[in-house]
Amino acid sequence: QKEVEQNSGPLSVPEGAIASLNCTYSDRGSQSFFWYRQYSGKSPELIMFIYSNGDKEDGRFTAQLNKASQYVSLLIRDSQPSDSATYLCAVLGGTASKLTFGTGTRLQVTL
């Protein structure tokens, strides 16, 4: 079982819709969760982080964490073509002292 799992996609959503990206993790002791956005050929950029169960909102982005079910989600409201990228989930804590990344979900926002 992979430590951090994401559906590779592509996830295709129309412009203006809500994009929902999901991530599950295997280490129940994980405590910190991060979402990075990576455009093709570019380096990852941190866009959200969450430590507590529940929702955390920042502009059009909402991170959701459910430690009991071991999943973390990223919602993007009013999706724009510029949101088209690969979104990497990263997890820290538990048995891992360093960030563990998922393989990412490719999001395509269509006009």
Partner 1 sequence: SQTIHQWPATLVQPVGSPLSLECTVEGTSNPNLYWYRQAAGRGLQLLFYSVGIGQISSEVPQNLSASRPQDRQFILSSKKLLLSDSGFYLCAWSLYPGLGEKLFFGSGTQLSVL
Which span (17-25, 61-69, 75-83, 90-98) binds partner 1, by CB under 8 A?
90-98
Which span (9-17, 20-28, 67-75, 102-110) binds partner 1, by CB under 8 A?
102-110
Task: State the Cα angle at 99 between 98 and 105, rounded to 5°.
Answer: 165
Choose among 62, 57, 61, 49: nearest CA to 91. 49
Q: How many CA atoms lie within 13 A of 33 on its CB side?
A: 33
Binding-site member from 34, 50, 64, 73 for partner 1 (CB under 8 A): 34
Q: Residue 45 or residue 58: which is nearer to partner 1 going by CB?
A: 45
CB of 95 to partner 1, least distance (A): 13
Task: State the Cα angle at 15 between 42 and 70, rounded to 5°.
Answer: 65
92 binds partner 1 (CB under 8 A): yes
